[in-house]
């Protein structure tokens, strides 16, 4: 799995506490804290294999 933000990181953004999973194309922002939680959730409970996924708020 290859994970990336959908658009870019919100460098000063607070943790919102939720995220969405989407494809690599698109625009959007995600905070570093929410991106970290999304990655840990995917490691803990893998749902995507051999694909690219993108996270956004």
Q: Alpha-carbon Rg of the chain, whole angstroms? A: 10
Q: How many helices (H) and strands (E) does the chain have?
A: 1, 5
Give the whole-angstrom CA distance, residue 12 versus residue 53. 23
pLDDT at 25: 67
pLDDT tens string, the chain, 57 residues long: the values are 788 888 889 989 899 989 998 876 678 889 999 999 999 999 999 998 898 889 988
Name which of 43, 9, 45 is nearest 29 in CA terms: 9
26: Cβ–Cβ under 8 A, 6 or more apart, which residues?
6, 7, 54, 56
Give the whole-angstrom CA distance, residue 23 versus residue 17. 20
């Amino acid at each position: 799995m290859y994970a990336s933000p959908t658009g870019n990181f919100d460098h000063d953004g607070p943790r919102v506490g939720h995220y969405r999973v989407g494809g690599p194309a698109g625009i959007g922002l995600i905070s570093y804290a929410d991106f970290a939680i999304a990655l840990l959730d995917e490691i803990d409970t893998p749902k995507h294999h051999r694909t690219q996924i993108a996270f956004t708020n």
